[in-house]
């Protein structure tokens, strides 16, 4: 698979790169960033995936996430993908919460989205294969995290793929798309009106239906203006408690939805993942 280097910079002894390829799943050019820490010849490193939120690309966390120092210290590859297919001929919407920049990490089944909006398969299948082919990644040691819509992606991908991820965390995730305006709008557009088809993309519903994680870390700002109407963190806490699923859900006083919040707790999350991604 052909991979084009967009940029490459030395950082904390390792390399921060941005790469582009023509994706099989979306049929479009896709960009992603990869931080590879300094490592020995032939050494394979664990991987931490990061999924971004509405309106974002790979660039938001790459430029503002402040993860490199911690990843260099622990020897963890950090991968940040885009949030949707983009470009001429790709369906879009004038609203920020649908279309390009708002893929919701689903495989769309409805027109006009179905031909390109296959972010579930891109993240679960295509991009990991690409990473394993071109980077020193140990795919037996993967963790996943994300923010907002990307937190929804991290939770649902982790829950749907038992055994693949040793660690799952999230920053201010959308936990129950079936029960919030963002989710109802996006899932109706991408998947149709049958709400049963939505449950595979709802963390609370997946837990109610029997999916489990070995443990979970979530940070949520108490001053987040999306908390009550869209994120509804309490529903995740209730679902985990009812299922007996271990979860550390921390409400952080005074923090909002921005990268000021994310960067404040990124090192904590990398440390938490690192403890679970160590070699056996």
Catalytic residue, chosen from 33, 97, 224, 273, is 224
Catalytic residue, chosen from 116, 147, 257, 269, is 257
* Nearest by Cα to 102 from 153, 142, 137: 153
Is 224 annotated as catalytic? yes
Judge whether 169 and 143 are in contact, CB under 8 Å.
yes
Is 148 annotated as catalytic? yes
- Residue 36, φ and ψ in degrees, nearest 5: -115, 115
- Tokens 């699923």 locate to 245
Catalytic residue, chosen from 33, 52, 84, 148, is 148
Cis before 112 (ω within 30): yes
Is 264 annotated as catalytic? no
- Tokens 């709802």 locate to 202
Q: How many residues are given for the chain?
A: 280
Write a three-state SS string for 178-231: HHCHHHHHHHHHHHCCCHHHHHHHCHHHHHHCCCCCCCCEEEEECCCCCHHHHH
CA dist 101 and 48 (Å) reads: 21
* Nearest by Cα to 180 from 221, 124, 236, 222: 236
Catalytic residues: 148, 224, 257
């Amino acid at each position: 698979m052909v991979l084009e280097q967009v940029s490459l910079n030395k950082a904390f002894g390792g390399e921060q790169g941005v790469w582009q390829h023509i994706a099989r799943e979306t049929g479009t050019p896709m960009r992603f960033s990869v931080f590879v820490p300094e490592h020995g010849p032939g050494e394979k490193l664990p991987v931490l995936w990061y999924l971004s939120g509405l309106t974002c690309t790979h660039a938001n966390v790459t430029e503002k996430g402040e993860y490199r120092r911690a990843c260099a210290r622990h020897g963890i590859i950090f991968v940040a993908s885009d949030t949707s297919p983009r470009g001429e001929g790709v369906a879009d919407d004038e609203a920020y919460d649908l279309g390009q920049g708002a893929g919701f990490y689903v495989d769309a089944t409805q027109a006009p989205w179905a031909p390109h909006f296959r972010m579930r398969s891109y993240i679960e299948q295509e991009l990991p294969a690409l990473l394993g082919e071109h980077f020193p990644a140990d795919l037996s040691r993967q963790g996943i995290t994300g923010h907002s819509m990307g937190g929804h992606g991290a939770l649902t991908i982790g829950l749907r793929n038992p055994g693949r991820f040793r660690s799952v965390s999230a920053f201010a995730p959308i936990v129950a798309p079936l029960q919030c305006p963002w989710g109802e709008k996006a899932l109706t557009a991408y998947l149709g009106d049958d709400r049963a088809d939505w449950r595979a993309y709802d963390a609370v519903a997946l837990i109610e239906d029997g999916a489990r994680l070995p443990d979970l870390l979530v940070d949520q700002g108490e001053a987040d203006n999306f908390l009550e109407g869209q994120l509804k963190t309490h529903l995740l806490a209730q679902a985990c408690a009812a299922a007996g699923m271990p979860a550390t859900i921390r409400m952080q006083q005074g923090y909002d939805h921005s990268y000021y919040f994310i960067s404040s707790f990124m090192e904590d999350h990398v440390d938490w993942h690192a403890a679970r991604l160590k070699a056996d």
